[in-house]
Amino acid sequence: MRKTVALIGAALLTATVTGCGGGTLADGDRTLTLAESVTATPWDLAKASLGPESSYYQPVFDTLIRLDRNGEPTPNLATSWSYDKAQTTLTLKLRTGVKFTDGTALDADAVRQSLLHTKSGTASAAGEIRDISGVEVVDAHTVAIKLSHPSASLLPALGQVSGMIAAPGSLKDPGVPVGSGPYRLDTSATIAGQTYTYTRNPRYWNKKAFPYNKVVIKYLADPTARINALLSGQIDGGTVNLNRVPTVKGHGLKVATYQPGDVEGLYIWDRAGKKVPALGKLKVRQALNYAFDKKAILKAAKTGLGTRTAQVFAPGEDGYDARLEHTYSYDPAKARRLLAEAGYPNGFAVTLPDLSAAFPQEQAALTQSLKDIGIKVRLDNVPGDQIFSSALSGKYAMSYFKLGAPTGWDKVQLQLTKDSTWNPLKYHDPRAEELVTRIGEATGRTRDALFKQLNAHVVHQAWNAPWSVVANAYATAKGVTATPQAGLQYPPLHSYAPAAK
Amino acid sequence: MLTFLIRRIVAGAALVVVVATATFLLLNLTGTDVARNILGETAPRSAVTAKSHELRLDQPLVERYWHWAEQALRGDLGSSWFTGAPVNQSLVDTLPVTLSIVLAGLLLAAVLSVALGTAAALRGGWVDRMVQFAAVLGTAVPSFLIALVLAVTLAVQLGWLPATGYVAIDASLTEWLRSIILPAVSLAVAATAATAMQVRGALMDVLRADYVRTLRSRGLSTRSVVFRHALRNAAPPALTVLALQFIGLISGAVVVEKVFGLPGIGTLANSAAVRGDAPVLLGTVVVTVSIVVAVNLLLDIVYGWLNPKVRVS
């Protein structure tokens, strides 16, 4: 017994000593190692999520179209596409000669089966294509996607997980993913939930877009662990918290900041004044918009990263209007004057959910700014996992929130109609409703103009008091570059490349 | 001894059931909209309702509990609500990671605490004072701080050991050791501090006992007295402390795993707790409580082996 102990002790010591000489692996094998902050969802696309989870799918599954860095659709598996006049049938021409890694051909029927299978689930990827009412095989390399009503979100969705195509034989309960993408999963070097290794698919049609021979994705949930892994050269890329950006830059790593389209600030849920009558008055809501020193908040809570805003649409999204950005400035005196004019010279009392568990600095900034213009704030404690349920419960008249959606039109559906999910108190505005209906039917310039009208209406009516378009930061090792894509929460795999020396 | 063991096993099983039930109830009283959390803010209400139905969240609490308990009794702990991964598989994947660092930490603590405790008891004087001072310091500094300092200095700055990640023991023995050394050391510090003081105290008591004086009077060397007789008699209290430390180490593993990015059961439980992933959290609770029960049982057996009087009573 005692001998065993001594032996193991000696082994521990030896390992420490031999460890001294060790370094990281040689860099010549062109392996790209990335860290993900979330675990993978199942290989079944019907159960796939849309967020950073899609990084695990990208090496294996190719998408019908590809979104460029501005979020515009470009050819990929589909070489061209067109809508019919009613905007309810999208016909796609498919690339010929593409095969899945199991040898079967990627044809119109495979696309039909895969899309319908994804749609059949209850996950977020399925939700993105819920408007598809059917998929028809026109000929071997042409599919027609039918929509229940016109949707501006379909093309962008087909460039993400919802548009990924899996081999027909692998659709039902796949233990291993089978796609036609640039890589395939190397099961011998993969530990589910920890490390995923992908090796090249020799038959891939667009090899030059993917310069790495091997891709490894490691699950590293903790921001500190990700930074340590980056700094010690264990990984080539990973998201970093904004407050760590200076540290990472200080060590010579590259940091790209990008905007996934999330807009944060004070969301006013009770615009009709059902719970807090004051909020039913336009001047009160406008007063709230003058209450925030957005520049100072960005500096304190986001190390200066992010863009000040006054609207719910992010730059690059349909409906965004740069002219609206200066509608409200930081002017607490004016805020107090507006409150007085609205009949609330001494402010009013309001109960907010305390979201400090997830957003400490943001919550502090919100509470302080409201107090500064004379509003009495009472806070209800809300745990981190109840942020959605608290905001959706309809219990609170307003709160801090951060909301994003893949496209401008998705944002409209998500929060600006009477039945929107993020309109918990069912606020109804006939003018906005009418504009939304007309946008749904319009195309081209008319649509753009209507979209801007809707945005202007919402901003001038002070539906919310947004502060900023949120920025995320992504760090890469010295030898690697990654180009983030507008509207995505992470840089797509095809945007990674060895850095020019 | 046998009836004693059976009684302990039944009591242990009852404890597992009570803790699992309590966890189930606590998880379901929070009012979190799990289906919404799973699908994200962009999902429409209809999708959230469908997801709730799929996860049986629209069923009465009692019915859901029976469903879970029935499955669990058959050895199936269900699947993660968020990733769909079977809980059993996740536990099989993560348990070796946690056990590696906890057992290595425990072993380090055992070796170091016996060495330090014995040195303090035998030498006295400045050695004793140094050990006592180090013990106070070791107890006071939290393990995550030690973990952070070790990670930043030895791994990131000097590059001697990996900063994050775990290598399975069957993949490479040396890489496995390299991946667990820093986490194990971080865990071992506090356990060593507590146990060394216990060894020191117990050994001092034993060395003052009559039989030791008798042994010495027979001309036995100090070495023989200490290592063949005194330490064995001083072991039970030290073992108790070490077993308690084991339980402490499992909870300490949660933060240490986080700092070193280790995919262990602590990381699993932590992310499940944050998201409200009930099946995963219940699975980790059942397994950790079972381990704690088993360790206590094992301790009883070792006690009996060390001290026959326990067996009689």
Of the candidates B16, B32, B10, B33, the residue with the CA atom closest to the CA atom of residue B69: B16
What's the confidence (pLDDT) of residue A10? 40
Do B253 and B169 sit in the same domain of this protein? Answer: yes
Judged by CB atoms closer than 8 Å, whether chains meet at A19 and B261 is answered as no
CATH number for the A62-168 domain, one of 3.40.50.720, 1.10.10.60, 3.90.76.10, 3.30.750.210?
Answer: 3.90.76.10
- Residues paired with A350 in a beta bridge: A377
What's the confidence (pLDDT) of residue B309? 63
Domain containing B243 — which CATH number? 1.10.3720.10
**Lowest mean pLDDT, pick from A261-265, B90-94, B206-210, B233-237:** B233-237
What's the confidence (pLDDT) of residue A341? 96
Do B197 and B50 sit in the same domain of this protein? Answer: no
Do B70 and B125 sit in the same domain of this protein? Answer: no
Angle formed at CA A282 by CA A277 and CA A284, multiple of 5 degrees: 65
Q: B31: which chain A residues are within 8 Å (Cβ-Cβ)?
A: 386, 389
In a domain, B7, yes or no: no
Best residue in A148, A217, A421 to probe B by mutation, most B CBs within 10 Å?
A421
Do B205 and B275 sit in the same domain of this protein? Answer: yes
Of the candidates B33, B160, B168, the beta carbon closest to that of A389 is on B33
Q: Please, are residues A32 and A212 in contact by the beta-carbon 8 Å criterion?
A: yes
DSSP string, A228-240: HHHHTTS-SEEEE
In a domain, B87, yes or no: no
Q: What is the pLDDT of residues B113-149, one digit of tens each?
A: 989 988 888 888 898 899 999 999 988 888 889 999 9
Do B153 and B221 sit in the same domain of this protein? Answer: yes
- CB proximity under 8 Å: B 259-288 to A: 259-261, 263, 267, 270-271, 274-276
Angle formed at CA B200 by CA B194 and CA B201, multiple of 5 degrees: 95
- CB proximity under 8 Å: B 152-171 to A: 152, 155-156, 159-166, 168
Of the candidates A11, A191, A228, the beta carbon closest to that of B164 is on A228
In a domain, B20, yes or no: no
For the cut 60, the answer to whether the pLDDT of residue A1 exceeds it is: no
- Per-residue burial over A367-377, b if 16 or more Cβ lie within 10 Å, else e, is bebbeebbbeb
Which domain covers residue B46, as residue numbers? Answer: 31-76
In a domain, B247, yes or no: yes
What's the confidence (pLDDT) of residue B310? 59
Q: What is the Cα–Cα distance from A54 to A157, expressed in whole angstroms?
A: 13
| The CATH fold of domain A263-470 | Dipeptide-binding Protein; domain 3 (3.10.105)
Chains A and B form CB pairs within 8 A to the count of: 170
In a domain, B86, yes or no: no
Judged by CB atoms closer than 8 Å, whether chains meet at B42 and A226 is answered as no
Q: A24: which chain B residues are within 8 Å (Cβ-Cβ)?
A: 159
Instruction: Read off the pLDDT band of A365 (50, 70, 90).
Output: very high
Taking the Cβ of residue A404 and every Cβ of chain B, the question of whether any pair is shorter than 8 Å is answered with: yes
Do B43 and B170 sit in the same domain of this protein? Answer: no
In a domain, B296, yes or no: yes
Q: Please, are residues A485 and A491 in contact by the beta-carbon 8 Å criterion?
A: yes
Domain stops at, among B15, B43, B76: B76
Judged by CB atoms closer than 8 Å, whether chains meet at B160 and A41 is answered as no
Q: Would the CATH topology of A1-37+182-259+472-501 be identical to that of A62-168?
A: no
Alpha-carbon torsion B220, B222, B227, B231, what sign?
Answer: positive
- CB proximity under 8 Å: A 95-124 to B: 122-124
Q: How far is B100 from chain A (nearest CA, A)?
A: 13
Q: What is the Cα–Cα distance from A490 to A53, expressed in whole angstroms?
A: 10
Distances (CA, A) of A168 to A19, A104, A171: 48, 9, 6
Percentage of the residues of chain A whose pLDDT score is greater than 90: 68
Do B120 and B215 sit in the same domain of this protein? Answer: yes
Q: Report the phi/psi class of residue A188: left, alpha or beta, with left for phi > 0 and alpha for psi in -120 to 50.
A: alpha
Q: What is the Cα–Cα distance from A171 to A165, expressed in whole angstroms?
A: 10
Q: How far is A301 from chain B (nearest CA, A)?
A: 22
In a domain, B3, yes or no: no
What's the confidence (pLDDT) of residue A42? 87
Quote the number of domains for chain B: 2
Domain boundaries, chain A: 1-37+182-259+472-501, 62-168, 263-470
The maximal CA–CA distance of chain B, rounded, in angstroms, is 86
Residue B59 corresponds to which tokens in the numbers above? 């069923």
A326 or A185, higher pLDDT: A185
Q: How far is A21 from chain B (nearest CA, A)?
A: 7
Average pLDDT in chain A: 89
Do B44 and B104 sit in the same domain of this protein? Answer: no
Taking the Cβ of residue B65 and every Cβ of chain A, the question of whether any pair is shorter than 8 Å is answered with: no
What's the confidence (pLDDT) of residue A29? 64
Judged by CB atoms closer than 8 Å, whether chains meet at B44 and A20 is answered as no
What's the confidence (pLDDT) of residue B248? 85
Taking the Cβ of residue B111 and every Cβ of chain A, the question of whether any pair is shorter than 8 Å is answered with: yes
Percentage of the residues of chain B whose pLDDT score is greater than 90: 37
The maximal CA–CA distance of chain A, rounded, in angstroms, is 86
What's the confidence (pLDDT) of residue B26? 87
Q: B152: which chain A residues are within 8 Å (Cβ-Cβ)?
A: 228
In a domain, B24, yes or no: no
The whole-number average pLDDT for the span B81-103 is 91
Q: How far is A98 from chain B (nearest CA, A)?
A: 30
Q: What is the pLDDT of residues A420-476, one digit of tens each?
A: 989 999 999 999 999 999 998 888 899 999 999 999 999 999 999 999 999 999 999
Of the candidates B40, B45, B259, the beta carbon closest to that of A124 is on B40
Domain stops at, among B76, B110, B131: B76
Q: How far is B37 from chain A (nearest CA, A)?
A: 7
Do B272 and B212 sit in the same domain of this protein? Answer: yes
Q: A229: which chain B residues are within 8 Å (Cβ-Cβ)?
A: 163-165, 261
The whole-number average pLDDT for the span A416-421 is 91
- Residues paired with A82 in a beta bridge: A91
Judged by CB atoms closer than 8 Å, whether chains meet at B33 and A404 is answered as no
Taking the Cβ of residue B255 and every Cβ of chain A, the question of whether any pair is shorter than 8 Å is answered with: no
Taking the Cβ of residue A358 and every Cβ of chain B, the question of whether any pair is shorter than 8 Å is answered with: no
Q: What is the pLDDT of residues B13-43, one digit of tens each?
A: 999 999 999 999 988 877 778 888 888 888 8
Q: What is the Cα–Cα distance from B189 to B172, expressed in whole angstroms?
A: 26
Distances (CA, A) of A499 to A236, A486, B294: 11, 21, 54
What's the confidence (pLDDT) of residue A26? 41
- CB proximity under 8 Å: B 182-221 to A: none
What's the confidence (pLDDT) of residue B185? 94
Closest chain A residue by Cα to residue B271 = A221
Q: Please, are residues A312 and A403 in contact by the beta-carbon 8 Å criterion?
A: yes
Do B56 and B104 sit in the same domain of this protein? Answer: no
For the cut 60, the answer to whether the pLDDT of residue A19 exceeds it is: no
What's the confidence (pLDDT) of residue A284? 96
CATH number for the A1-37+182-259+472-501 domain, one of 3.50.50.60, 3.40.190.10, 3.40.50.10800, 2.60.40.10?
Answer: 3.40.190.10
Of the candidates B181, B168, B302, B190, the residue with the CA atom closest to the CA atom of residue B250: B190
Q: How far is A267 from chain B (nearest CA, A)?
A: 14
Do B57 and B123 sit in the same domain of this protein? Answer: no
Q: A422: which chain B residues are within 8 Å (Cβ-Cβ)?
A: 41
The whole-number average pLDDT for the span A267-274 is 95
Q: What is the pLDDT of residues B243-293, one digit of tens each?
A: 888 888 888 898 899 999 999 999 999 888 888 899 999 999 999 999 988
DSSP class of B42: T
Instruction: Read off the pLDDT band of B58 (50, 70, 90).
Output: confident
Judged by CB atoms closer than 8 Å, whether chains meet at B276 and A385 is answered as yes
Alpha-helix residue ranges (DSSP H) falling in A148-207? 154-158
Domain stops at, among B17, B41, B76: B76
Average pLDDT in chain B: 87
The whole-number average pLDDT for the span A67-91 is 92
Closest chain A residue by Cα to residue B154 = A20
Do B151 and B270 sit in the same domain of this protein? Answer: yes
